Amino acid sequence: MLELLAVPQGRNYIAGRWVDPVGDRMLTSVNPATGEVLGVAPDSSAADVDRAVRAAAEAWPSWRATPAPRRAEILFRAAELLVRHKEELARLATREMGKILTETRGDVQEAIDMTYFIAGEGRRLHGYTTPSEMPRKAAYCVRQPLGVVGVITPWNFPVAIPSWKIVPALVCGNTVVFKPAPETPLSAAAFTALLVEAGLPPGVLNLVTGGDETGAALVDHPGIALISFTGSTDVGLQVAARCQARGVRVSLEMGGKNAAIVLDDADLELAADALTWSAFGTTGQRCTACSRIVVTPRAHREVVERLADRARRLRLGDGLDPATDMGPLVSASQRQRVETYVEIGRREGATVVLGGERPRVPGLERGFFYAPTILDGVTPGMRVAQEEIFGPVVGVMDAASLEEAIEIVNGVRYGLSASIFTRDVFAAMRAVEEIRTGIVYVNHGTTGAEVHLPFGGTRATGNGHREGGLQVLDVFTEWKSVYIDYSGRLQRAQIDRD
Ligand code: UN1
């Protein structure tokens, strides 16, 4: 826990206080590298969720009425606190979900970036004015907050992803009930504590920890105006169905099956460095992780060799150890999922070039480790080429031409991130134009989006919304159009034209 802020264990944060849950069920937070128990957090019931939503609803009128620049001042202070506590928060997140310290520092940094960036909107939140079609009539539009926002987040970016949702929601004048992943409740509590320390009034941000049941209670609560969800496609689609049945707005960020194209003329050293990072960084547990490499014939052998060479040298271990390059998977069930997919790949006829097993390194037995794995000879119809694995597994696929490579990249249901390595500007520009994903990189892997650009995917990755960038404001607000007629007479739009 954060040393400088007293974050009590086993409590939710509701209406400005750390409170005991109604029931006594607890989640246990476990270090996936060592098996060490880090602490407990409430496995909250529908009654806890109800309490939190009521608190948020009660806080809404005065938060909404607080001028946006004032709301933003609190968020700027939150950014400063995040800077000050970056190291502690990063260490906690590494212990809780396993990725290495340089990456959890990046995770916290992404939250800092987002908070500074979007707090700046407190003095903008632009609408626009436009001429009316009638004389002596003013017309303009403004953004309005929605009300109580339910935020449901995954464990892979336990600080950054909550910040992407909570900070914009707050600057826009909404109040929040935050339900983090059951694997990372302590990081969520610490992040909540920092935001609260910055000066948020009671009820403006509420934390209820728990698993699926807690999430379902939040989704189904009649007091919620919007659910912002990042997680698996299966759960996301259920969330969407439940929200849509009640006419509740929902923003979804779900799976990916991200691909990188490597053309024959590419800088293969750069491609190998970048793809090692994109495929095996965060142990492959990023929505943006590269899980398919599509190579043209002459580059194929070298790409596989250089990638395998680098991946073989990655040191697995506890993410707190500076010598570690790759941490464990987050849980036993995630590792099981990865093992199942590698088995499926083998049966489908892919060749395991590297990995395909748990590492045989003494000292790692208690963690959920899995070796970096490269599958070669993957073809577009295979399940390992179509389904999200969310682990350190990358499949190499052949393409005869740029056209075929683009077709393979686009030939999955998801559309988050893609990349192309080439020195040929014509090929790069064609790929940028024809690839149907929300994010495209040239001469860079599929990971590493920056907060001030829209983040999100096409097709089954999402439902059309974007996080990051100014586009995120469209998720957390709705428009109000205002007409002020100062002509002193009845003027009917579309009718009284002359
Ligand atoms: C995610 O895995 O959901 O672009 C987020 C990236 C990071 C964010 C990933 N900035 O890889």
Q: Report pLDDT digits (tens) over 443-478.
A: 999 999 999 999 999 999 999 999 999 999 999 999
Give yes or no for residue 448 CB within 6 A of ligand 1. Answer: yes
Residues forming a β-bridge with 73: none
- Helices (DSSP H) in 44-85: which residue ranges? 46-65, 68-84
Distance of CA 390 to the CA centre of its chain: 13
Residue 314 DSSP one-character state = P
Amino acid at position 9, single letter: Q
**Residue 287 CA, closest ligand 1 atom number:** 2
Burial of 150-167, coded b for 16+ CB within 10 Å and e otherwise, reads: bbbbbbbbbbbbbbbbbb
Smallest CA-to-CA distance from 200 within 219, 173, 222 is with: 173
**Residue 447 CA, closest ligand 1 atom number:** 11
Amino acid at position 395, single letter: G
Distance 54 CA to ligand 1 centre (A): 32
Nearest-5° angle of CA 146, CA 152, CA 176? 40
**Residue 450 CA, closest ligand 1 atom number:** 10
Residues 422, 427, 429, 431: is their CA dihedral positive or negative? negative
Q: Where is 410: in which H helix or E strand?
A: helix 402-410
Distance 451 CA to ligand 1 centre (A): 10
Structure token digits, residue 359: 């590492």
Give yes or no for residue 370 CB within 6 A of ligand 1. Answer: no
Residue 315 DSSP one-character state = P
**Residue 156 CA, closest ligand 1 atom number:** 2
d(C-alpha 446, C-alpha 274), whole Å: 9
Query: Is residue 272 within 8 Å of 301, Cβ to Cβ?
Result: no
d(C-alpha 412, C-alpha 406), whole Å: 11
d(C-alpha 383, C-alpha 341), whole Å: 8
d(C-alpha 498, C-alpha 495), whole Å: 9
Distance 331 CA to ligand 1 centre (A): 19
Give yes or no for residue 174 CB within 6 A of ligand 1. Answer: no
Query: Is residue 252 within 8 Å of 475, Cβ to Cβ?
Result: no
Distance 92 CA to ligand 1 centre (A): 19
DSSP 349-369: T-EEEE--S----TT-TTS--
Residue 222 DSSP one-character state = T
The confidence score (pLDDT) of residue 3 equals 60
In sequence order, which residues have a C-beta less than 8 Å from that of residue 82 and are 6 or more positions away?
A: 89, 108, 111, 112, 115, 194
Give yes or no for residue 229 CB within 6 A of ligand 1. Answer: no
Q: Which residue ranges in the chain fall short of pLDDT 70? A: 1-5
Q: Is 333 exposed, middle or buried (0-12, 13-18, 19+ CB in 10 A)?
A: exposed
Give yes or no for residue 286 CB within 6 A of ligand 1. Answer: yes
Distance 64 CA to ligand 1 centre (A): 30
Give yes or no for residue 416 CB within 6 A of ligand 1. Answer: no
Give yes or no for residue 159 CB within 6 A of ligand 1. Answer: no
The confidence score (pLDDT) of residue 4 equals 53
Distance 108 CA to ligand 1 centre (A): 12
Distance 232 CA to ligand 1 centre (A): 14
d(C-alpha 400, C-alpha 283), whole Å: 30
- From 107, 278, 286, the mutation candidate for ligand 1 (largest count of ligand atoms within 8 A of CB) is 286
Give yes or no for residue 156 CB within 6 A of ligand 1. Answer: yes
Give yes or no for residue 249 CB within 6 A of ligand 1. Answer: no
pLDDT, one tens digit per residue, over 318-353 is: 999 999 999 999 999 999 999 999 999 999 999 999
Give yes or no for residue 77 CB within 6 A of ligand 1. Answer: no
d(C-alpha 282, C-alpha 99), whole Å: 5
Give yes or no for residue 461 CB within 6 A of ligand 1. Answer: no
Q: Whose CA is nearest to atom 3 of ligand 1?
A: 287
Q: How many CB atoms lie within 10 A of CB 400?
A: 9
- From 257, 280, 447, the mutation candidate for ligand 1 (largest count of ligand atoms within 8 A of CB) is 447
Catalytic residue list: 253, 287
Query: Is residue 122 within 8 Å of 75, Cβ to Cβ?
Result: yes
Distance 322 CA to ligand 1 centre (A): 22
d(C-alpha 10, C-alpha 7), whole Å: 10
Length of the chain: 498
**Residue 285 CA, closest ligand 1 atom number:** 2
Distance 154 CA to ligand 1 centre (A): 11
**Residue 451 CA, closest ligand 1 atom number:** 10
Q: Where is 479: in which H helix or E strand?
A: strand 477-485
The confidence score (pLDDT) of residue 2 equals 54
Residues forming a β-bridge with 251: 228
Q: Whose CA is nearest to atom 6 of ligand 1?
A: 448
CA distances from 116 to 78, 218, 284 (A): 9, 28, 28
**pTM to 2 decimals?**
0.97
Q: How many CB atoms lie within 10 A of CB 67?
A: 11
- From 109, 114, 155, 157, the mutation candidate for ligand 1 (largest count of ligand atoms within 8 A of CB) is 157
Distance 61 CA to ligand 1 centre (A): 34
Give yes or no for residue 324 CB within 6 A of ligand 1. Answer: no
Give yes or no for residue 157 CB within 6 A of ligand 1. Answer: yes
DSSP 413-432: SEESEEEEE-S-HHHHHHHH
Beta-strand relationship, 417-421 and 26-30 = unpaired
Residue 294: what are its φ and ψ, rounded to 5°?
-105, 115
Amino acid at position 320, single letter: L
